[in-house]
Amino acid sequence: MNTIFYKKPEKRKFHYKPRFYEADGGVHNERGEFDPDKFGNRLHNSWQAKRDRNKKNTTSNTRVIILMCIVIILVFIAYKFIFR
């Protein structure tokens, strides 16, 4: 029976990608010109990944807050009506 009451966050990993090297060709097309569509897609994907990570954290925090509110309400009802 493995019950976890507190989840310890992982250490942050170091992901460094040099600006001058991009394996997929980067935002420049074959002639070396700037491609705004490719840049926009890459930027959108990056922001979407960040939003997804933040959404997971917010969801777990919301669950804890809702459960705490329910417990407080139940304790109040028990105190007010049952233990008179």
Q: Is the pLDDT of residue 55 over 90?
A: no
- pLDDT, residue 70, reads 96
Q: Give residue limits of the domains in the chain.
A: 36-84
Cα dist. 38→30, 50, 61 in Å? 12, 19, 35
- What average pLDDT does the chain have? 77
The answer to whether 42 touches 34, Cβ cutoff 8 Å, is no
Asked whether residue 6 carries a pLDDT value surpassing 80, the answer given is no
> Model pTM greater than 0.85?
no
